[in-house]
Structure 1
Amino acid sequence: MSLNRAMLIDRMEAYLAAVAIGDLVSAGLAPGLRYSENGTQLPPGAGLWHQAPGFKGIQTFADEETGQAVCMGVVLLNGRPRPFAQRIHVRDGVVHEAEAIISSDPKGHFADVEQLLKPDILYSAVVPPHRRVDRDGLRDAADRYWEGLQQSDGLIPRFNYRCDKYDNGAKTTNTLRTLLSPDGKVHTCASALNDTRAARPRSRDRRYPVLDTELGVACSFVVVDFHPIADHPRPDAGSMYMLGVFKVVDGELRIIDEIREILPLGSPCGW
């Protein structure tokens, strides 16, 4: 049984509600469920399932062709908000895969978790038919971003002139806040990619579980290795395990959100 977009979004809501109360029965889980948190495989009932989490500001995207749904927002653990992302894969009406990212970086130069409490309505805006791209176009637009990051070349992606990027809720392009950050610069989306060359980034394990042509949204999971720099230590050195959400209009990136957790360099994503 295949589920449409609305049904998959309902399944995500039901899944998170079950996690919040630790109810494995109502979650509709397959017997062989694969479950991970920050790249670590866990048995159902472990991790978030026994921490009574709350979920706020959840924005969900779904793809009936892949049978997957992805959300981003905030998870409350012991009353403290943390950036959060979740993916589920539904087949035959039950959840066969569940993948969560729970960030340990809620506030700082490159994180502002409170901003995730109010989802950006730009993502839910329907793209007019004459300004849409097909599924391959959505995947290409997102993949060009990861390739631009890997090659430290901001000319590879196609950025709309209004495009901005947000990391764990914090606006990190075209803002003075980055002038006070370890980078000490004000970046555009393109220059932010150009400036990573010294860290020799490698963008690997790219996946695209959601490609929604009507909304122009591509959701991608990826691991990006940032290598340490001897004369300019980076606070993000390590493997960035993240969800990237891209709004694509006219084949250009209009807005980018990243929910990420930094793991030891070389860490696998588990998928």
Structure 2
Amino acid sequence: MKQIVDDYSAALAAHDPKKVNIAPEVFFTENGHAFKPGESELWKGAGTWGEQNYLIDTERCGAVAFGVINENGRLIHAAIRLQTRDGGPITEIEHVLGRESEFMYNPQVVLATSHLDWENILPPDLRQSRALMAAAATDYFAMFAEQPLVNTPFAERCDRWENGIMTTPTHDCSPKGLVIKHPPPRVPLADVEAGLVAAFEHFAGNLADVHVFKMSGGRVQYAMAIVGPASPDPWVEREKNK
């Protein structure tokens, strides 16, 4: 799967979707809007990644690349989800991008997080199940309530970056105290070995959003959020019709 991500990134930088194995029936969105591969803004302007991390889900044959990528000569925040058919053709592509006009914007800070061990493989005794990771990611968004009924397990020190801005000055990732109504997130992929889980959310029912959580020993250690513009979310309806 990592090679497929690299092939896709190379095709993006070449502005040529024919350079990667994309299924004819692929469903592709960029910030919630459907395009054909090669026609979106990132496909037309992409360069190389400035900082790239990988979430590789070998069981479900999917991946998420996240960090900052060059577009038209400057860095933007990006999360790219690829779903394949049994490790072959790419059948789903989802770009969530945060540019200058979006919620916060500081790609240089993301470059400075390159020391974080996003992809390090956890010892077996510190891994958590896919179900526990999905529940932690889902419960995080349910905590944006006056009286949350759930509680994501956070590490004693937990940090979160949203479009490059660290939003945890006291190293507390809990969103308690913020009251925002969200639809349930989609949690399609997890890397159990590395402790990574990605939640795709229509934040406040309005914004394209991906939160990637790093977990170890059953607790969230840190999180990276890529927040895009106000957008539709066609993926929820697509999931219902599968």
Change (3 A) 1:88 1:107: closer
Alpha-carbon separation, structure 2, partners of 1:205 and 1:39: 16
Deviation at 1:58, TM superposition (A): 1.1
Matched to 1:189, the amino acid is: C
Q: 1:29 aligns with which of 22, 34, 50?
A: 22
Q: 2:77 aligns with which of 79, 83, 88?
A: 83
Matched to 1:73, the amino acid is: G
SS at match of 1:15: helix
Alpha-carbon separation, structure 2, partners of 1:61 and 1:224: 21
Deviation string, structure 1 residues 151-199 (Cα, Å, up to 9, x no partner):
5749722111111111112211126xxxxxxxxxxx8322xx22322xx
Q: How many residues align?
A: 232
Change (3 A) 1:65 1:46: same
Q: 1:189 aligns with which of 173, 195, 208?
A: 173
SS at match of 1:13: helix
Change (3 A) 1:209 1:119: farther
CA contact (8 A) 2:187 2:199 kept: yes
Change (3 A) 1:189 1:144: same
Alpha-carbon separation, structure 2, partners of 1:203 and 1:141: 15
Matched to 1:270, the amino acid is: P
CA contact (8 A) 1:63 1:69 kept: yes
Task: Give the alignment's TM-score, normalised by structure 2.
Answer: 0.87
SS at match of 1:138: helix
Change (3 A) 1:72 1:120: farther
My pick for the range that moved more, 151-160 or 112-121, is: 151-160
> In the alignment, what sits opposite 1:254?
221
Q: 1:143 aligns with which of 133, 138, 142?
A: 138
Change (3 A) 1:107 1:23: closer
Identity, % of aligned pairs? 28
My pick for the range that moved more, 89-98 or 114-123, is: 114-123
Change (3 A) 1:112 1:153: farther
Task: Give the alignment's TM-score, normalised by structure 1.
Answer: 0.78
Two-structure CA RMSD over aligned residues (Å): 2.3
In structure 2, runs of 5+ residues without a counterpart are: 236-242
In structure 1, runs of 5+ residues without a counterpart are: 1-7, 176-186, 227-238
Matched to 1:83, the amino acid is: H
Change (3 A) 1:95 1:28: same
* 1:208 pairs with 2:187: yes
Larger Rg: 1
> In the alignment, what sits opposite 2:114?
119
Alpha-carbon separation, structure 1, partners of 2:102 and 2:185: 27
